[in-house]
Amino acid sequence: MASKHPQPSAAQKKRSAVQKDPSGVQKEPSAVQAMLGGFAPKLVELTDNVLFGDIWKRPGLSQRDRSLITVSSLIALNRTEQLPYHLRRALDNGITKDELIEIITHLAFYAGWPCAMSAIMLAKTVFAEPAYAEHA
């Protein structure tokens, strides 16, 4: 899979637009703010501002490549709680369902069968969601 630099999807643009206005001021709470805002404010700040506000936007890798790396890492480490979000993000960033299935199949031999089986069951659930049913 050669590195391509696709334009952000409509879902990705919408997600970015909801989180910050053009001046960078938070308009609506991010997903992590809604989940953890008052409970772990520093972790929320680091997630929104450093991880997604800086690291994910660095020019060295495309969003697609970052999603491929992140999904692969989460599968290999069997981090299933974070995986559905990143599978959705990967689809939004241009990785196809077939590519995600192939990644999971490939990782079965490097990360282990249980990791791959857990990941494929989560992928099946995400792919069945109405918002992602139309993705190739």
Q: What count of Cα atoms within 13 Å lies in the side-chain half-sphere of residue 133?
A: 4
Q: What is the pTM of this model?
A: 0.77
Number of domains making up the chain: 2
Question: Are residues 80 and 116 part of one domain?
Answer: yes
- pLDDT string in tens for the chain (136-residue length): 444 545 545 554 444 434 555 566 656 898 888 888 889 999 999 999 999 999 999 999 999 999 999 999 999 999 999 999 999 999 999 999 999 999 999 999 999 999 999 999 999 999 999 999 887 6
Question: Are residues 91 and 110 part of one domain?
Answer: yes
Q: Three-state SS across 35-85?
A: HHCCCCHHHHHHHHHHHCCCHHHCCCCCHHHHHHHHHHHHHHCCCCCCHHH
Question: Are residues 66 and 53 part of one domain?
Answer: no
93 vs 62: CA distance, rounded Å: 9
CA trace torsion 35, 14, 1, 122 (10° rounding): 40
Question: Are residues 118 and 54 part of one domain?
Answer: no
The CATH number of the domain holding residue 72 is: 1.20.1290.10
User: Is the separation of the CB atoms in 99 and 3 below 8 Å?
Assistant: no
- Which residue segment(s) compose the domain that 77 sits in? 60-136
Q: Which helix (H) or strand (E) holds 10?
A: helix 10-19
Question: Are residues 54 and 68 part of one domain?
Answer: no
- Is position 110 within any domain? yes
8 vs 17: CA distance, rounded Å: 12
Rg (CA), the chain: 15
39 vs 4: CA distance, rounded Å: 39
